Amino acid sequence: MAALIGRRSEQRTLQTALDAPEAELVCVYGRRRIGKTFLVRQFFAEELCFELTGVFDAPLKEQLRNFARAFNAAFGGDSPPPSDWHSAFARLGEALERLPRRATKRVLFLDELPWLSSRRSGFLRALEHFWNSWATKRPWLVVVISGSAAAWMLDKVLHSRGGLHNRVTRRVRLEPFTLAETREFLAGRHIELGNYQTLELYMTMGGVPHYLKEIRRSESASQNIDRICFSQDGALHDEFRDVYRSLFEHAERHEAVVRALSRKTSGMTRNELLEAADMGSGGAATTLLDELEASGFLMRVPAFGTKTKDALYRLADEYSLFYLRWIEPHRGSADGFWMKRRTSPAWRAWGGLAFEGVCLKHSRQLKAALGIAAVETLESTWRSPASAGATGAQIDLLIDRKDATINLCEMKFSEAEFVIDKRYAAELRAKREAFHRTSKTRKTIHLTMVTTYGVRANPYRDELVAASVELDALFSP
């Protein structure tokens, strides 16, 4: 049996459900390919007594036939498909009741709930009735429900106004692996690439376990990327459309937002984003953005000193950015395409943008490296538009601390020590001065460099850089 990598807080939540003295309804959600099913099967391997997985875009009769097959496999016999979901849950309850009692709980797993609950299927009402009228009275039972359409799970289950309102007892949102978990996952498959090459892979496909399974130990990061992303039969060559269309209705609108963000990875305000995606600003747009955020494809970064509505949206999915920047424009490229391009100016520009996104996701590790893990902070972004006599400036990560200090973080991706030259030193001074002038802060400002291999010692570094964090620190648990 494969070992579980990471997911420590999630495992604690699932263990709490097993240990509770009453019935538990656990909701596990997260984007496609993230490992929800694997986590539930592995953690509850000894307690799992029935599992049903929805079939994408299948009619009610097919879903019920699938239920009958799963039921017969779990409990024996040759029962025909039930006539509806109420009958299915009644049959399931009777079978569970006949099982001998044991010291540990029994676990019932309903996977891909949004696919089971197709239009006019009556599935959700039947599930609500099953839980409220029968399951809650069985303290020996844990019901686990899961789905990849995170927005649907939030709307129909976690924020339900119907029979499941406030019924979920535990929730587990599964997110991509961190850098540390990615390294641990690869090590578990006997793949040792070092932190820099692991970062390259992470910037390409993120911490999605299903994608990481494609990596071969006999190949470098560049060779793996070439094969997985650019060969015609590569696992990620055509994954982009499948990801969005399997999660969202009218997925072309979600793709339009993602494409707009990929063209301006420094982020956009809500109005800027909707204009770039050619969308109106009504409730439908709000729902769409919430769906993408709940599914982990975009993130909202607060803007320093402004209201919530002025937050910047950024593309959070590494694979989507890589696909739109590299895979889609270079279909049919010759073998070795990526290895030939990995030292080009375009590669360096993409690497810088992707590294910034990775750093934003690892702000907890950054804070630990700076020795401020215990300090209350607020992470945000800041930008000053160009005006008469002054150029525009942006700081992608600003750590505002309760100890009267602000870290202005500059993230730089390079294959060697980063060198601050005269031109960049002038840019750093201008940014710091612009921030101090416009924010009117009285806090101490620490210019902080986050780089792959550190900052080379020279007079500019000594003058400007108060703190430096290297790549290895981002791999901390």
List, in sequence order, every residue forming a beta bridge with 401; answer none if it has no partner: 377
Same domain, 460 and 338: no
Residue 250 vs residue 187, higher pLDDT: 187
Q: Is residue 2 part of a domain?
A: no
SS3 annotation, 131-192:
HHHCHHHCCCEEEEEEECCHHHHHHHHHCCCCCCCCCCCEEEECCCCCHHHHHHHHHHCCCC
Which residue, of 107, 141, 173, is where some domain finishes? 173
Q: How confident is the model at residue 18 (pLDDT cuts 50, 70, 90)?
A: very high
Amino acid present at 9: S
Short-list 197, 246, 262, CA closest to 33: 246
Residues 266 and 397: their CA atoms lie apart, in Å, by 11
Spatial separation of the C-alpha atoms in residues 331 and 249, rounded to whole Å: 27
| Residue 206 and residue 140 share a domain | no
* Distance in angstroms (rounded) separating the CA atoms of residues 117 and 388: 57
pLDDT tier, 143 (very low <50, low <70, confident <90, very high otherwise)? very high
| 17 and 140, same domain (yes or no) | yes
Q: Of 50-64, 226-240, 382-396, give the lowest mean pLDDT range.
A: 382-396
The domain spanning residue 439 has which CATH number? Answer: 3.40.1350
Angle between helices 123-133 and 85-98 (to 10 degrees): 30
In a domain? residue 3: no
Residues 6 or more apart whose CB falls under 8 angstroms from that of 294 comprise 150, 151, 154
Q: For residue 309, name the pLDDT band (cuts at 50, 70, 90).
A: low
- pTM score, two decimals? 0.90
- Are 111 and 146 contacting, i.e. CB atoms less than 8 angstroms apart? yes
Could you tell me if residue 410 is inside a domain? yes
Please say which residue of 173, 192, 213 terminates a domain.
Answer: 173
Picking from 152, 178, 148, 205, the residue whose alpha carbon sits closest to that of residue 32 is 148
292 shares a domain with 221: yes
Per the domain annotation, does 1 fall within a domain?
no
Between 282 and 461, where is the model more confident?
461
User: 122 lies in a domain?
Assistant: yes
pLDDT of residue 390: 59
Whether residue 188 is found in the same domain as residue 301: yes
CB count, 10 Å around CB of 88?
22
pLDDT of 310 above 90: no
The CATH number of residue 352's host domain is 1.10.10
Q: Are 18 and 167 contained in the same domain?
A: yes
pLDDT of residue 26: 97
Give residue 35's domain range: 8-173
Residues 357 and 368 in one domain: no
Statement to judge: residues 182 and 283 lie in one domain: yes
- Does some domain include residue 129? yes
Q: What is the mean pLDDT of residues 302-319?
A: 84
Average pLDDT, integer, range 131-157: 92
Residue 437 placed within a domain: yes
Question: Is residue 109 domain-shared with residue 31, that is, in the same domain?
Answer: yes
Give pLDDT tens digits for 155-196. Answer: 888 888 777 778 999 999 999 999 999 999 999 999 999 999
In this structure, of 158-162, 277-281, 282-286, 314-318, the range with the lowest mean pLDDT score is: 158-162
More confident residue, 160 or 231: 231
* pLDDT at residue 368 greater than cutoff 60: yes
110 and 197 share a domain? Answer: no
Confidence of residue 34 (pLDDT cuts 50, 70, 90): very high
Q: Report how many domains make up the chain.
A: 3
Q: How wide is the angle at C-alpha 265 spanned by C-alphas 260 and 268, nearest 5°?
A: 65
Note the pLDDT of residue 341. Answer: 85
Question: For the ranges 95-109, 162-176, 393-407, which has the lowest average pLDDT?
Answer: 162-176
Share of the chain above pLDDT 90, in %: 73
Q: Tell me, yes or no, whether 322 and 219 share the same domain.
A: yes
What would the mean pLDDT of 20-28 be, rounded to a whole number?
96
- CATH number, domain of 127, equals 3.40.50.300
Rounded (10°) CA dihedral 315, 180, 15, 42: 90
Q: Are residues 214 and 355 in the same domain?
A: yes
| Amino acid letter for position 358 | V
Average pLDDT of the residues in 382-404: 81
- The answer to whether position 85 is within a domain reads yes
DSSP per-residue letters across 193-229: -HHHHHHHHHHHHTT-HHHHTT--TTS-HHHHHIIII
Element (H, E) at 108: strand 106-111
Q: Which of 173, 208, 235 is the last residue of a domain?
A: 173
Query: Residue 388 has what pLDDT?
Result: 47
